[in-house]
Amino acid sequence: MRSGRINLALASVLLLDASDHNLDILTQVLKGLGAQDVHRCLTIAEAERVINRIAVDLIIVDPNLKKEDGHSFVEWVRRSTPDPTRAVPIIMISGYSTLTTVHRARDAGANFFVAKPITPKVLLDRILWIGRDNRNFIEVASGYCGPERRFKFEGPPPGCEGRRHDDLKAPIGDSMTPNMSQDEVNTMIKPQRVQL
């Protein structure tokens, strides 16, 4: 890390995307970072078979799969797989980066969201960010399981009572705004210190 280099040679990475072309791009990016054990999946069933067969160290998933929802796959990993698999880092990537889309990825249990088109630098930065991330892994009675998602000014997770006077009381509805930039996504996802 001090040399500014990363090597994923010992990491097992699972990629889930409905497009062979996107899987080719992601595979090349990860191979460039040293990954040798890359598992390419076009469907949730394929991804579940890989997870049930081997231990993976990183999952990269596009939520927009053909006739399937990548969010449900992330929720399955977080709620139905045994430790340590349920706590594996998950990066969600999508061409749609509206506020609603990013919230949905976060609420499914993803560690980070990256807007497509991705670049090797952005993906590397997010992998490094996850490596340095010190958020607690939590399980909430309302069903959420994943990295702590409470952020200042964003309110409590859905279904949980607020603990601060400035917590938002109303649920956040569908977004009517355009896609957010990656910088805006980073600002929203990055944990902030909060005094409770």
DSSP helix/strand/coil, 5: coil
**At a CB cut-off of 8 Å and minimum separation 6, what does 50 contact?**
14, 39, 41, 56
Asked if residue 4 belongs to a domain, the reply is no
Task: Tell me the torsion sign for CA atoms 157, 160, 163, 164.
Answer: positive
Asked if residue 160 belongs to a domain, the reply is no
Q: Which of 132, 146, 156 is nearest to 73 (CA)?
A: 146
Asked if residue 72 belongs to a domain, the reply is yes
Asked if residue 172 belongs to a domain, the reply is no
Rounded Cα distance between 21 and 18, Å, is 9
pTM above 0.85, yes or no: no
- How many structural domains comprise the chain? 1
| First-last CA distance in the chain | 33
109 lies in which domain range? 12-134
Asked if residue 116 belongs to a domain, the reply is yes
Asked if residue 182 belongs to a domain, the reply is no
* CATH number of the CATH domain containing 47: 3.40.50.2300
Q: What is the pLDDT of residue 191?
A: 62
Contact yes or no for 15/39 (Cβ under 8 A): yes
Q: What is the pLDDT of residue 1?
A: 42
At 133-153, the pLDDT tens digits run: 878 888 887 788 888 876 554
Rounded Cα distance between 82 and 79, Å, is 8
Asked if residue 19 belongs to a domain, the reply is yes
Indicate whether 37 pLDDT > 70: yes
